[in-house]
Structure 1
Amino acid sequence: MTTEIFQLRAIAQIALATHITPRVRSISMSLDSSGHEIEFRVYTDGRLPESAAEALSCAVTEIHAAYPSGQILRINEEFIIAPEPEPMHHLPIVVYVRCEDAWVDRT
């Protein structure tokens, strides 16, 4: 794994630390070969309330601002509704996955 990918993962996890809401199942990312474009994929249990979507938007803004030297030109956001236990197809850089083990009570 390249330094850029490690750096992007760390930046994203810090930005997301206070922006994950209960309906978010996972977040993954990819960085294009030029290092200037990010794909940001979010799997959710259902439609996000406006405030939850805004929280993720804030995290994306923080990722953009924290990435070194203004290298990122664009972050493409993709939101996929896939209620548990539907499978998720993550991008190469996984930054968050909710625990969905059967023995864990999430109520």
Structure 2
Amino acid sequence: MSEPVVALPTYEDLCRYIRRTLCEQDALDYEQTPFFQTPIFRRGRPWGVVFHVEGPRLLKTSAVWASNDERVVFYNSLGQRTREVQLQESPAASVGLGAA
């Protein structure tokens, strides 16, 4: 099975796509579901971001944006990989990762 390929040129586009996908995965309301982002660093350099949404009954699903690999991997609340998306176009690694 091949990975879907999407173009998300800005950090805002990336966040919107990830939030919508995470919410759809568990039928959560996009507007009401809390959305969190945590930058990941490797050897002091920006590497990616962990995103997660929190739903009722301690439900928590997540996605990891690996900026250098230009891909996003989605996980369910059990930590199982559910989907992987290749990015045709994505923001610069430093955008949204706490670097200038």
Return the TM-score normalized by structure 2.
0.33
Question: Would you tell me which structure has more strand in proportion to its own residues?
Answer: 2
Higher Cα Rg, which structure:
1
Query: Is the helix fraction higher in 1 or 2?
Result: 1
